[in-house]
Amino acid sequence: MSSSSLHLEPITSARGQITLPGSKSISNRVLLLSALASGTTSLHGLLDADDTRVMQSALTALGVHLENQTRDNESILLVQGCNGQFVNNTADLFMGNAGTAIRPLTAALAILGGDYHLHGVPRMHERPIGDLVDGLKGIGAKIDYLGQTNYPPIQIGSGHLLLDQAVKVRGDVSSQFLTALLMALPLTAHPRDICIEVVGELISKPYIEITLRLMEKFGIKVINNNWQSFVIPAFKHSQSAVYISPGEFWVEGDASSASYFLAAGALGGGPLMIKGVGRESIQGDVAFANALAMMGANVTQGNNWIEVRGVDEAGLQAIDIDCTPIPDAAMTLAVLGLFAKGTTRLTGIASWRVKETDRIAAMECELKKFGATVSSGDNFIEVSPPETWTSPIGGVDTYDDHRMAMCFSLAAFGPVPLEINDPACVSKTFPHYFDELRSVIAVSK
């Protein structure tokens, strides 16, 4: 695979079986919780990709001991917990473009105090963090912006925390701000309950559900008051630690990554089985399977697998759907709009604007290269399929965004060849994506 572009001939069928890499959302959360806990945690099925390597590098710089082991041909990461206080109280931390790493680490380090410099790639310095910082500074944390206000890079110091009033955070920009506060505030070992109040509508609730369920695995049960406020229980001084390692933890497959292969099974006839997520998944993006079924795909699920066997005789149908619960997998639905009869309308996607790139603008631009009719706004995109398919001149641009590259590989189920520029950007979450795709497809000769 060239680092500059990847040529794809039209795909004629897709069938077989895929075992998914570990969930990014779960992997980075559980890495931090394991690091903060008492005891050693053995992590099974952890995602090995750029974003999780960023988190591991940061934890190592903070003095957390990580050890890779192999047992019965399985890779396991042992995380020796630091019992709620990092060994190193000063560090320079490069966070790449990993939102799931910089945001919870910012909160944890601001609560614990020290001397920390957090920075990343240029795009990271364009991704907002101000609402999280405002919430933390509101309780006395010391955080300074080193560049543009409300964006990284930042410098964290030691503040004087006051937790007698509710901690407030906006919920309509990124659920990662609330996740960060939920995971960090127990570290205060506060003798009274701590209340977090959500200002505005909370988006991406399933990602908060992941956070709450993982925190419970590590001994903290948060009270969820209808998504408007959250109560972290008072720390009892009879407790030995805030977070307690569960000993062993198995990371389920990445549901966002599953969407590409589920879509391939619909477009390519199947049967195509995805192993690693299913009915028992704690990830919201597993609901993509239901949206795919609404479009006419034949979908069946087990506890830990989903299988797609093509589409109904009527073919793929356009849908109008609120994608607030599935913001990442919604990108796959947008590309499926190239193939569906009618106009596919996706709403609830305002968070696309502040992801690895402005995904609404990027998606509109690239879909139009195939001849699709596309319109968009701050919180929606509409896609009508091409009357005549065109092969994108200059290739499909991916904007250093892993999900753009993976989504648009599905356009190869159309009648025209295409080039995907910078396919290596998939290393952020799924380094072997194109190898896995090749293993289940056939192409026209």
Q: What is the DSSP letter of 353?
A: G
CATH for 24-234 is 3.65.10.10
> For residue 400, what is the DSSP state?
T
- Global confidence as pTM: 0.91
The per-residue pLDDT for 201 is 87
Look at residue 288 in the predicted model and tell me its pLDDT: 97
Active site residue 378: no
d(CA 182, CA 289): 29
pLDDT at 1: 38
pLDDT at 2: 41
Q: Tokens for 20?
A: 């998914």
Other beta carbons within 10 angstroms of residue 101's beta carbon come to 30
Three-class secondary structure of residue 216 per DSSP: helix
Of 50, 254, 328, 397, the active-site residue reads 328
Q: What is the distance between the alpha carbons of residues 405 and 397, in angstroms, rounded to a whole number?
A: 8
Domain with CATH 3.65.10.10 in the chain: 5-21+254-443, 24-234
* CATH T-level assignment (fold) for domain 5-21+254-443: UDP-n-acetylglucosamine1-carboxyvinyl-transferase; Chain (3.65.10)
C-alpha count within 13 angstroms, C-beta hemisphere, residue 391: 12
Q: Give me the residue label for tokens 């596309």.
A: 374
Mean pLDDT per block of 10 residues along the chain (445 residues) reads: 80 97 96 98 96 97 96 92 97 95 97 98 94 95 97 97 91 91 96 94 91 97 96 85 95 97 98 96 95 98 97 96 94 98 97 92 98 97 98 96 97 98 96 97 87
Residue for token pair 């609330």: 178
Q: Is the dihedral of CA 395, 401, 405, 407 positive or negative?
A: negative
What is the DSSP annotation of 22-41?
Answer: BPHHHHHHHHHHHHHSBSEE
For the chain, give me the number of helices (H) and strands (E)? 12, 23
